[in-house]
């Protein structure tokens, strides 16, 4: 690399040294640790110094240009007695891009292309699912028309069907929008990297931190500098390996760490945190709380018009409600945009949280955020971003409505003071802080014991958090009327002392991958279910044996239809297994239509209020059992029924 104006800068440094007796020293520093949050990282670098008495200017150069100035914190540990006079963050420009930086650009672009292809594949799957459900919707509409002609309509069944199509199509459309938005974001990132690669030898910048010191007693000093930086994230993922014969589940808790900060983390101590860091540079001031009849403020009031629910801090730049039929009952939706008040530019990575709850989001690269499924009612909204003043507002989430909230943030300034520490003991610590990191009690923090290498390539890197064997109870369930497969479900107790954060779970049966599912947050000692997919070593088959009709009387008489099915379950495993087999009786919605169970005997099965019949079947290795299902439907001669299958 070549520094622009490097000769001129060196001359200035030498002039400072001769005029003021200061020694200017650029020192090498290495990344010691990194605490990774969901959208940024706190990086700590260190440099070992041997200082003489007098004034010194220590410069840590070549730092990434994305570090957040307001978050810088400097500390020292050693035998020297020092006074830190100031901390300055400066930008420096380079005349050419190094081969390493160019290689990282290419690696990041390849990673983004792979990610883009995954999004395109997911869009293709969603489009196929959408087409399938829409075809079912068309067929169901034809069935409804037939039912209207042949018999009285079953309103409950129609409602369930409409809800099924609404929920599934709504979810698919939502995910399609999200995937297409993600596709566009990835495209934008690729274009930015292509532009950087195309520029080739164009100038680029990095930052350096200048720390003036007054050394009153010479000695060694380990200078540590920490700062927040965007471009890093992590998310949990799990491998659940089922050891069926041992009735155990081997759970491996991983973190997928990605970073594209511009600096490599080599042999670095990693900590993973769910906290949301922000700077608190100034003591907050209470702003007068005004009550007015202005229509805009009335948006903060409930339908009862009580003024006690007015806003806390300041009004959003824009606020309105719009109906949203896809929101679950009892919930609402919040979305909006965060802008810089002076420049009106969107602000990315701004934290937006709802009270002290787990609801929250961070703005994307265009300043947008969205918080789905917020319980209806009054909530406090907190908006905070490093280098800007925080906002707190009171809002009402209405059931079935999307609330749009746009906010302007104002920049805040931070001024540090010199910190002086005497040296009463051979070893002592000096600290200088420009920003504090908030660490909430509810945050989960994971310290990875071994050192890790996480290059700045934007690629996913898998880090193991823990491995634990958990006891598991298995349930085999068969619903052959819908699908002639045996499904394996497990009930697991989180016997660890950590919360299992919501994420993807890859499920293995011994050494075979069988399924992928997701879990929500699981607290210690909480029990949760895992759907393990289909077990092909147990078979089930449902066959119609007979169907026959009887008619009694010509006028005012009755018809009877008798259905006879046989369900066969076969255990091909080497162990004895218990299987729940579930079928059902038709439910009559007309008092003139009667359904009578002929076989099995009701005392041998369980029948719930929805007429679901459950057999508890125990099978030894190689054993097979046949389950009879026979029932009769009686109805008037003038009516007709839908055939049972």
pLDDT digits 0-9 by tens, 367-376: 888 888 788 8
- Each residue of 540-595: pLDDT tens digit? 999 999 998 888 766 667 889 999 999 999 999 888 889 999 999 998 888 888 99
Residues 305-348 pLDDT 10s: 333 333 333 456 678 888 887 777 788 889 999 988 887 888 88
pLDDT at 178: 80
| Confidence at 429, pLDDT banded by 50, 70, 90 | very low
Write out the DSSP string of 219-249: EEEEEEEEEEEESEEEEEEEEEEEEGGGTEE
CB neighbour list of residue 31: distance below 8 Å, 6 or more residues apart? 43, 44, 45, 263, 264, 265, 266, 268
- Banded pLDDT at 1 (limits 50, 70, 90): very low
Report which secondary-structure segment, H or E, holds 166.
helix 155-199
Q: Give the length of the chain.
A: 645
Q: What are phi and psi of 577, to 5 degrees?
A: -135, 150
Reported as a single tens digit per residue, the pLDDT across 194-221 is 766 765 544 557 888 999 988 888 899 8
**With the C-alpha atoms ordered 510, 513, 516, 521, is the resulting torsion angle positive or negative?**
positive
Q: How many Å apart are CA 202 and CA 95, to the nearest integer?
A: 7
Look-up of token digits 């930008």? 91
Supply the mean pLDDT for the chain. Answer: 77
Least confident range from 173-177, 241-245, 301-305, 569-573: namely: 301-305
**Cα pseudo-dihedral 82, 85, 91, 93, rounded to 10:** -60
In the DSSP assignment, the letter for residue 188 is H
Residues 6+ apart with CB under 8 A from 307: 291, 301
Three-point CA angle 452, 453, 458, nearest 5°: 125
**Structure token digits, residue 288:** 């007068």
Mean pLDDT of all residues in 123-149: 64
pTM (predicted TM-score): 0.51
pLDDT score recorded for residue 427: 33
Q: Reply yes or no on whether the pLDDT at 171 is more than 80.
A: no
Provide the token pair at 125.
Answer: 């799957």
CA distance 578 to 238: 28
Q: Which carries the bigger pLDDT value, residue 96 or residue 512? A: 512
User: Is residue 430 very low, low, confident or very high in pLDDT (cuts 50, 70, 90)?
Assistant: very low
What percent of the chain lies above the pLDDT cut of 70?
A: 75
SS3 1: coil
Say if residue 410's pLDDT is above 70.
yes
Question: Mean pLDDT, to the nearest integer, of 454-474?
Answer: 88
C-beta separation of 231 from 263 below 8 A: no
Highest averaged pLDDT of the listed ranges 143-152, 159-168, 377-386? 377-386
pLDDT, average across residues 81-86: 84
Strand pairing report for 54-63 and 23-27: parallel
Instruction: Please report which confidence band the pLDDT of residue 225 belongs to, taking 50, 70 and 90 as the band edges.
Output: very high
Question: pLDDT band at residue 358, thresholds of 50, 70 and 90?
Answer: low
Q: Determine phi and psi for 183, rounding to 5 degrees.
A: -60, -45
**Residue 252: which of 236, 270, 240 has the closest Cα?**
240
Strand, coil or helix: 213: strand
369-385 in b/e burial notation, b at 16+ Cβ within 10 A? Answer: bebbebebeebebbbbb
- Give residue-wise pLDDT tens across range 29-50: 999 999 999 888 999 999 999 9
The 10 Å Cβ neighbour count of residue 595 is 15
| Pair of tokens at residue 6 | 């490097």
**Nearest-angstrom CA–CA distance, 190 and 198:** 12
Mean pLDDT (whole number) for 595-604: 93
Share of the chain above pLDDT 90, in %: 19
Q: Measuring CA to CA, which residue among 213, 189, 205 is closest to residue 87?
A: 213
Contacts with 574 (C-beta within 8 Å, 6 or more apart), sequence order:
621
pLDDT of residue 19: 43
Q: Return the pLDDT at 543.
A: 94
Beta bridge partners of 63: 207
From start to end of 510-575, where are the E strands? 512-519, 527-534, 538-552, 558-571
pLDDT for res 600: 94
Q: How far apart are CA 212 and CA 73, in angstroms?
A: 14
Q: Which distant-in-sequence residues (6+ apart) come within 8 Å of 505 by Cβ?
A: 237, 238, 239, 240, 516, 517, 518, 519, 530
Mean pLDDT of 67-79: 86
Question: What's the confidence (pLDDT) of residue 424?
Answer: 30
| Contacts of 188 by beta carbon, 8 Å cutoff, 6+ apart | 365
Strand 331-340 to 612-619 pairing: unpaired
Q: Please state whether the peptide bond connecting residue 477 to the residue before it is cis, i.e. omega within 30 degrees of 0.
A: no
Report the distance separating Cα 632 and Cα 590, nearest Å: 15
| Token reading at 244 | 């069926």
| pLDDT interval class at 629 (50, 70, 90) | very high
Helix intervals (H) in 281-410 = 295-298
Quick check: 386 pLDDT over 60? yes
Interhelix angle 99-150/155-199, nearest 10 degrees: 160
Q: What is the pLDDT at residue 517?
A: 82
pLDDT at 292: 44
User: pLDDT value at position 616?
Assistant: 94
Give dist(CA 31, CA 44) in Å, integer.
6
pLDDT band at 180 (very low <50, low <70, confident <90, very high): confident
Token readout for 431 is 């600290």
pLDDT score recorded for residue 511: 82
Token pair of 523, please? Answer: 């607290």
Q: What is the Cα–Cα distance from 587 to 574, expressed in whole angstroms?
A: 39
Overall average pLDDT of the 39-66 stretch = 89
pLDDT (0 to 100) of residue 295: 38
539, pLDDT greater than 50: yes
């Amino acid at each position: 690399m070549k520094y622009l104006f490097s000769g001129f800068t060196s001359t200035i440094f030498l002039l400072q040294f001769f005029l003021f007796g200061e020694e200017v020293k650029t020192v090498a520093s290495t990344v010691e640790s990194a605490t990774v949050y969901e959208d940024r990282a706190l990086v700590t670098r260190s440099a070992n110094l041997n200082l003489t008495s007098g004034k010194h200017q220590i410069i840590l150069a070549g730092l990434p240009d994305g570090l957040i100035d307001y978050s810088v914190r400097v500390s020292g540990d050693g035998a020297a007695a020092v006074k830190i006079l100031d901390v300055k963050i400066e930008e420096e420009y380079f005349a050419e891009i190094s081969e390493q930086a160019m290689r990282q650009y290419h690696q990041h672009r390849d990673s983004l292309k792979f990610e883009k292809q995954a999004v395109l594949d997911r869009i293709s799957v969603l489009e196929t699912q959408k087409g399938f459900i829409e075809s079912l919707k068309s067929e169901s509409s034809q069935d409804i028309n037939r039912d209207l002609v042949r018999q009285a309509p079953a309103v409950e069944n129609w409602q369930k069907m409409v809800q099924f199509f609404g929920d599934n199509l709504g979810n698919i459309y939502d995910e399609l929008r999200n995937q297409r938005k993600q596709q566009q974001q990835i495209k934008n990132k690729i274009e930015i990297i292509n532009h950087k690669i195309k520029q080739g030898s164009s100038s680029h910048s990095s930052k350096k931190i200048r720390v003036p010191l007054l050394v009153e007693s010479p000695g060694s000093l380990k200078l540590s500098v920490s700062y927040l930086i965007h471009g890093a994230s992590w998310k949990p993922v799990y491998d659940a390996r089922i050891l069926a014969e041992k009735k155990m589940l081997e759970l491996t808790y991983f973190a997928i760490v990605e970073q594209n900060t511009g600096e490599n983390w080599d042999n670095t101590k990693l900590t993973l945190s769910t906290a949301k860091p922000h700077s608190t540079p100034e003591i907050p001031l209470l702003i007068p709380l005004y009550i007015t009849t202005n229509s805009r403020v009335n948006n903060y009031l409930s339908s009862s018009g009580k003024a006690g629910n007015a806003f806390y801090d300041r009004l959003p730049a824009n606020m309105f409600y719009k109906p949203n039929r896809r929101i679950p009952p009892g919930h609402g939706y919040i979305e909006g945009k965060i802008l810089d008040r002076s420049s009106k530019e969107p602000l990315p990575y701004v934290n937006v949280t709802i009270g002290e709850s787990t609801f929250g989001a961070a703005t994307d690269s265009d300043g947008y955020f969205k918080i789905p499924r917020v319980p209806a009612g009054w909530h406090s909204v907190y908006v905070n971003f490093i280098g800007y003043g925080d906002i707190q507002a009171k809002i009402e989430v209405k059931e079935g409505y999307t609330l749009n909230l746009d906010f302007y943030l104002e920049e805040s300034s931070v001024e540090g003071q010199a910190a002086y520490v005497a040296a009463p003991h051979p070893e002592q610590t000096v600290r200088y802080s420009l920003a504090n990191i908030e660490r909430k009690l509810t945050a989960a923090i994971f310290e990875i014991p071994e050192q890790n290498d996480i290059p700045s390539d934007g690629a996913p890197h898998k880090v193991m958090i823990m491995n634990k064997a958990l006891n598991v109870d298995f349930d085999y369930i068969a619903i052959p009327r819908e699908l002639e497969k045996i499904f394996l479900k497990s009930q697991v107790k989180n016997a660890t002392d950590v919360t299992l954060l919501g994420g993807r779970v890859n499920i293995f049966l011994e050494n075979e991958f069988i399924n992928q599912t997701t879990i929500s947050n699981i607290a210690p000692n909480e029990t949760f279910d895992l759907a393990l997919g289909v077990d092909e070593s147990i078979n089930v088959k449902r066959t119609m044996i007979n169907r026959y009709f009887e008619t009694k009387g010509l006028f005012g008489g009755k018809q009877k239809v008798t259905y006879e099915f046989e369900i066969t379950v076969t255990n091909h495993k080497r162990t004895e297994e218990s299987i729940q087999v579930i079928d059902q009786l038709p439910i009559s919605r007309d008092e003139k239509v009667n359904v009578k169970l002929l076989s099995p005997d009701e005392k041998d099965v369980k029948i719930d209020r929805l007429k679901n019949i459950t057999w508890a079947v125990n099978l030894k290795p190689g054993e097979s059992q046949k389950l009879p299902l026979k029932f009769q439907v009686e109805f008037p001669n003038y009516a007709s029924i839908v055939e049972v299958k």
